[in-house]
Amino acid sequence: MATIGIIGWGVVGKATGKGFGKKHKIVWNNKNDKGSTPIEDLCGKSDFVFLCLPTPMRADHSGIDLSIMDKVIDKVAPLMASKNTPLIIKSTVIPGTTAKYAKKYPKVEFAMNPEFLTEVNAPWDFLHPDRVVIGALNEDVANRIARLHRDVMGYKFRIFTTDPTTAEMVKYMSNTYMATKVIFANEMAELAEKLGINYDDVADMVGADPRIGKSFLKVSPFGGFGLKCFPKDTVAILGLAKKLGTDLSVLQTVWNKNLKIRKVKDWEGIKGAVNNNL
């Protein structure tokens, strides 16, 4: 039995703790919460430490805000230097973030293990993954994290081991592709309405093609996509692309269209989605 430390006890942190808790001891930290283990104690007694922290978008839609992650890393990393305990980022962070932390704290065993959870079914999703992606800087750390997952989840899914930046990119490409599919579906639904045909029937027949699939073809009465993950991840990757001088005009059009057709910008009121203090 391993001791697993989890810093950040929200949707992702609780799902991670509940899942690994089936076979391992869980200690967790969440600022000022009753039952929270102090970070110093958590880092000292854990065999693995997962960071499940908010990474909101900036209110001006210019990109991601990593200030919470930066602050926690700067506190935790010195406590874990030379301990051979993996410090695993589970939060969604832009490609290059984990590598940046590893360069700043070279004696820490950093890894990236993106989550692919839905907020509605997070505990179930955690235990029944389509795949697990592990980005690590050395093979031993990757294998230890892989064994931790197999111990709880079994062998019915594939584990990909790669570098941290690739693992980060996998999460962003997944979410922004699904966001793009939502906007495309909205446009086709609008066209179907003009033609006087039932869009749901069209989507059902189109989705029967396994190359396309049925997911994200339904159109919300609010229009476009909302909640937390799709908006903040789209904004984050667009901000990174702008900084790197990369043309993501298709995704920029998707975001602009979403802002135009979404009747309720619900992400603005969701905790952890937007940092309005910048």
Return the active site residues: 229
Using the Cα atoms of residue 93, residue 133, residue 5 and residue 136 in order, give the sign of their dihedral: negative
Could you give phi then psi for residue 110, rounded to 5 degrees?
-75, 150
Classify burial at 202, counting beta carbons within 10 Å of its beta carbon; exposed 0-12, middle 13-18, buried 19 or more: middle
**Chain centre distance of CA 16:** 13
Neighbours of 278 (CB within 10 A): 12
Q: Is 110 helix (H, G, I), strand (E, B) or coil?
A: strand
User: Do residues 142 and 134 touch, judged by C-beta distance below 8 A?
Assistant: yes
Distance CA 32, CA 53 (A): 15
Spatial contact of 57 and 63, defined as CB atoms under 8 Å apart: yes
